[in-house]
Amino acid sequence: MGIDVPEVVRNRFEDLKRQYDFCITLKCINENFYVYRATTRWDREKKRVRSITQYLGKIDDSGRFVRRASRRIPAAEREQFEYAYRQQPKKSSCFAMDPRDAKLLTILSTNAKANLSHLGRKLGMKPPEAYRRVKQLEDEFGIRYHAEINVSKFYYHKFIILVKFSNIAPTTQEILSATKGIPNIQLVQRLESKYNLLIYVLVRGHHEIATIRRQVRRALGKYDGEWYAIPVNEHFNTIPLRDEFIEQCLKKRLLKREYAVLKELNTDGTVEFNEIDRKYGFDEGRSLYTYHRLLENGVLRRVTMSMEKLNFKYLGIIFEKVINYAKFDRGRQKTGFDIISEPTGPTSKYALVCNIENPNGAMFFVPVFQDGDLEKAKQHIYGIKKGITLSTVTVTETILGSLCFRRIDPYYTYAYEFMREVGEGPEIRPMMDYFGTGRERKEARAQVRELGVWGAMARRRVETGAGGRRR
């Protein structure tokens, strides 16, 4: 290798050479060891073979191989980005958000596969600074990347089961044992006050929700209680899908390549498409092509993020019940504006807003950062809506699954789409393109050269200049 390499690093590199089915090289930069994929490509303009390298990751002093991050930054610049990140002091603040950090969180929430170099320039940041800030945000908030899948495309309906136990409630382990083995269940939370248990379920019909409710109730049969199954519809934000749901419920309704892309992106949104190709034995580029197709047909809304180290005190839920529809309808537009208002902190104002059918109303999931926030949110809703009653509960424990804590651009949400459809939306402000790269025509042609022209759709992209979205 031509460099003085510690034995532990050398041994790990030799292991990697046996693991990969292509040529890799090791580079020493600033006393750090980086692994690259080495290949060649014919340069049509210069009429010669050109060497190409792709950054794969680094090997630390202990011999651990750290894969590259998912940010779409040119591989040739990766070393200086890593170096710049190591030189910067770490920061931590949940309330005094730097405007550029807040915007980066919005970008990662709205499209975690965004071309950070391109969007960083739009925010007035050079790529190294954008990369450094994203790394800090990932460390500070424990960011996890995953897929946001539109289950309605598979004719799944959403229900929330609410339980009020009479006297003694089951233990956490009993609840987990009763629900974990059912892939349709995506979220289980223990509540305090009006209800004691919340179960979020995806089903394809009323008969299925009855079966699941009966199955869970049988497992907890020794506890007296009242059980309610309520149809819901997510109006703002989403609930991440468990991997078990994709494997056991969606797999049989997907092509193999569609299943592979959705499963891998849901498990780890930072995964590279060539890694998916290699894992499942696909032709090179097949997973990237499938990713774009899933976006286009609406099955995949985006790759997004969740903050798992968001430092709030607890999660509160506000139950809204409509008792006078005429009064309620007059204030509905103000409620819509409130839901899609620009957040001031690291996360959206509401972690989730669901419309419910029985009783007619809604549920607002509110992260509480300071004492009194839940009551303030309740009074705020009373101030903008009439003809309703409100009650609150607190979430004392999340037993299974999770909510999606993120800072999504409100103009890319169900709530905004609905308001525009019914003619109630605000004037459209200049919207940021989270999917374009500024090099659409060039990238579309490159994609066709690399992946082959698969049908008329790819040809039209090149002819019209409507380039494909970024990876």
**314-322 and 197-203 strand pairing:** unpaired
Are 92 and 158 contained in the same domain?
no
Contacts 24+ apart (CB under 8 A), 436-442: 436/118, 436/467, 436/469, 436/470, 437/115, 437/118, 437/467, 437/470, 438/118, 439/118, 439/467, 440/465, 440/466, 440/467, 440/468, 441/465, 441/467, 442/467
Tell me whether residue 444 is in a domain.
Answer: yes
Task: Read off the pLDDT of residues 357-408 as tens digits, 9 standing for 90 and up.
Answer: 888 999 999 999 988 999 999 999 999 889 999 999 999 999 999 999 999 9
Written as one letter, the residue type at 281 is G
* Sequence-ordered list of residues with C-beta below 8 angstroms from that of 446, at least 6 positions apart, any chain: none
User: The pTM is what?
Assistant: 0.74
Nearest to residue 290, comparing CAs of 315, 264, 309? 264
Indicate the DSSP class of residue 159. E
Neighbour-count burial of 205, counting CB atoms closer than 10 A to its CB (0-12 exposed, 13-18 middle, 19+ buried): exposed
Residue 123 confidence (pLDDT): 82
DSSP bridge partners of 65:
59
Tell me whether residue 255 is in a domain.
Answer: no
CATH of the domain at 202: 3.30.70.3460
Are 223 and 341 contained in the same domain?
yes
Phi, psi angle pair for 377, to nearest 5° = -65, -40
Are 164 and 41 contained in the same domain?
no
E strand or H helix at 226, and its extent?
strand 225-236
Higher pLDDT, 83 or 292: 292
Residue 90 confidence (pLDDT): 45
Tell me whether residue 262 is in a domain.
Answer: no
345: pLDDT strictly greater than 70 = yes
* Single residue among 40, 68, 96 that ends a domain in this structure: 68
Sign of CA dihedral 111, 116, 118, 121: positive
Domain count across the chain: 4
Residue 453 confidence (pLDDT): 41
Residue 213 confidence (pLDDT): 96
Nearest to residue 385, comparing CAs of 331, 453, 308? 331
Are 408 and 350 contained in the same domain?
yes
Tell me whether residue 283 is in a domain.
Answer: no
Are 337 and 397 contained in the same domain?
yes
What is the chain's mean pLDDT, rounded?
82
Tell me whether residue 131 is in a domain.
Answer: yes
Distance of CA 380 to the CA centre of its chain: 29
Nearest to residue 182, comparing CAs of 235, 244, 267, 107? 244
pLDDT class of 454 with cuts at 50, 70, 90: very low
Are 156 and 46 contained in the same domain?
no
Are 414 and 331 contained in the same domain?
yes
Are 362 and 408 contained in the same domain?
yes
Tell me whether residue 219 is in a domain.
Answer: yes
Tell me whether residue 278 is in a domain.
Answer: no
pLDDT class of 13 with cuts at 50, 70, 90: confident
The three-class DSSP label of residue 323 is coil
Residue 72 confidence (pLDDT): 47
Tell me whether residue 253 is in a domain.
Answer: no
- Domain of 49, in residue numbers: 7-68
